[in-house]
Amino acid sequence: MSTAFTGRRKRVFVQVIAGAGAAMLLLSACSSNSGSTGSTDSVTEFSLLTPAENSIIRDELATLSTDQCAAENKALPLKSETVAQADVVQKITLLASQDALPVMYVAGTAQVKPDGDIGKNNLAVDYEKILTDLGVWDDILPAAQSTVKAAYGGNMASLPFQYNVEGIFYNKKIFADNDITAPTTWAELTAATTKLKAAGVTPITEAGKDGWPITRLLGNYIFRSVGPDAMEKVQKGEAKLTDPEYVAAAQAIADLGKADAFGAGITSRDTDTAYAQFLTGKAAMIYNGSWMLANINDPAQTTIGADNVGFMPFPAVDGGAGNADQWPANAGAATATSTKAYGPKVGDWLKCIAENYGSSVMKNQSVISGFKLNTPVTGIPPLTEELQGVVSKATETVLWFEALMDAKTTSDAQTNVSLLVTGATSPADYMKLLQSDLDQAK
C-alpha cells in the first residue's frame, strides 16, 4: 500500500503492481545470464529504477550514498531513474529483452514469482542467499521475510524498503466516553459497533468506493476463522470460496453493512472522506495500514490529536483457526537486484543497505521498513514507535484477500463488495461469482 512519512501526505498504493496479462519477455538475449550471480563486477554504477510516484526508496538511498554508504557509492556511484508505476511491467519486459536491466529495479508481482518471466529465467538474485552470504540476513525482520516470501511464491525476490502492517485505528476518547475497551474478538467488535451506533457515532469508516478496504475486512475474517493458509488452500484447489466457512465470513461483513456500522454513503465514500471522518472525530474506527501514519502525524489533518489515536489488531473469531498475532502485512512493490549485475561492489551496497536503511528511513522520513533499526532513532511519534514495535516483534503474517487472485477475480471482488455490504447481493452469490472467476482462470 502506500507508505507514509512525516510532514508529507503520501498515499501511493504500492503493495502490488499487477503483472497479469503482460507480454512475455523476449529473453533470447538474456539466456546466457540464467546461471548463478557473477563473481566479478560487470557494472560501473549502481543503477536504480523506482516508481516515479513514490520517492521514498530513491531519496533514502541517495541519503545513504552521502553518509553510511559513501564508500560504497564512491566505488559504485548511485544513479537513479524512474518509471511510471502503470508502466512498470512493460518497462521491465523491454529492458529484460534488451539484456539491460538496472542493478536494482522495481518489477511486477507476477514477474518475480517462480513461474514469472523474471523468476523462471533467474534474472533476479535470491536475497536470502545473498544476504546470508554477506552476513546480514538477520537485518531483515522475520515478519518481513515471511511477507515477502508469501507475496512472491516463496521467492525472497524483494527487499522490504516499505513495510506496512494493517489493523484498526480507533479514537481513544470515543471509546472511553462509551465505556468501550479495544475489542479482541469479533463478537466484542460487533457489540462495540452496536453501542456506538446507539450513541450516534459512526462506528467504522472505510473508503467503500475503492472496494479494497472492505475486502480487507472479509479477508481478515477468513484468516481468523479458517486459518492463515485459507486463501492458499483456495488457490491450490483444496478449498472453495463457496464452502460454508468462507461464505460465513462474507455473511459477517454483510451483517456489518446491514447494521449500518459503516454509516450512510459507504459505497460512494472515497479515501479522503474516510480519512477526514476518522481524523476529525466523526467516526470511531478505521481499518487501514501503517502508511496512514503520515496523515495521523499531521496536526492539520488530525484535529482529534495524534495521541488520541490507538491501534489494535484485527480481532480473533471465536473458535477460529487463526489468531490476532498473525498480522496482515505487505512489503511494497517488488524491488529486485539483477543476477547479471551482481558482483562484489553490488554486494557491498546491499550489505550497507541492510545494515543502515531501517534506521535511516525512520530518522529521515518516519517510515516503517522491514529492516532492523541498528542505530537507535529518537523523536519518533508515539504511534509510529508502537507500530515499529509491532513490525519488529511479529513473526507470522498474512496477506490480503486478493493477493493470490488473478486480475479479473480481484476486480470483481473489489467492484462487487459494495453490493455485499448494501444487501444487493447475498454472501453466497458474491462468493459464487469469485469462485467462478477463479475456476475460469485455471
6: in domain: no
Looking at the structure, tell me whether residues 250 and 188 fall in a common domain: yes
As beta bridge partners, residue 104 has: 48, 337
HSE-CB at 51 with a 13 A cutoff on CA atoms is 25
Identify the pLDDT of residue 21: 39
18: in domain: no
Looking at the structure, tell me whether residues 128 and 221 fall in a common domain: no
Looking at the structure, tell me whether residues 323 and 335 fall in a common domain: no
20: in domain: no
137: in domain: yes
CA angle in degrees (0–180, nearest 5) for 61-66-72: 75
Looking at the structure, tell me whether residues 411 and 281 fall in a common domain: yes
Looking at the structure, tell me whether residues 271 and 207 fall in a common domain: yes
Looking at the structure, tell me whether residues 71 and 89 fall in a common domain: yes
56: in domain: yes
| Model confidence pLDDT, tens digit, residues 350-362 | 999 999 999 999 9
Q: Is the pTM of this model over 0.85?
A: no
378: in domain: no
Identify the pLDDT of residue 8: 37
Identify the pLDDT of residue 35: 37
HSE-CB at 400 with a 13 A cutoff on CA atoms is 26
2: in domain: no
Give which of 321, 186, 159 is closest to 245, Cα–Cα: 321
Looking at the structure, tell me whether residues 414 and 319 fall in a common domain: yes
Looking at the structure, tell me whether residues 199 and 347 fall in a common domain: no
Structural domain of residue 68, as residue ranges?
28-163+331-373
Cα Rg, the chain, nearest whole Å: 22
Looking at the structure, tell me whether residues 118 and 34 fall in a common domain: yes
Number of separate domains in the chain? 2
Note down pLDDT in tens along the chain; length 442 residues: 333 333 333 333 333 333 333 444 444 334 333 334 554 577 999 999 999 988 999 999 999 999 999 999 999 999 999 999 889 999 999 999 999 999 999 999 889 999 899 999 999 999 999 999 999 999 999 999 999 998 898 999 999 998 999 999 999 999 999 999 999 999 999 999 999 999 999 999 999 999 999 999 999 999 999 999 999 999 999 999 999 999 999 999 999 999 999 999 999 999 999 999 999 999 999 999 999 998 999 999 999 999 999 999 999 999 999 999 999 998 888 999 999 999 999 999 999 999 999 999 999 988 999 999 999 999 999 999 999 999 999 988 999 999 999 889 999 999 999 999 999 999 999 999 999 999 999 8
Looking at the structure, tell me whether residues 353 and 204 fall in a common domain: no
Looking at the structure, tell me whether residues 174 and 226 fall in a common domain: yes
Q: Decide if 249 contacts 222 (C-beta within 8 A).
A: yes
CATH code of residue 298: 3.40.190.10
Looking at the structure, tell me whether residues 208 and 353 fall in a common domain: no
| Model confidence pLDDT, tens digit, residues 118-134 | 999 999 999 999 999 99
407: in domain: yes
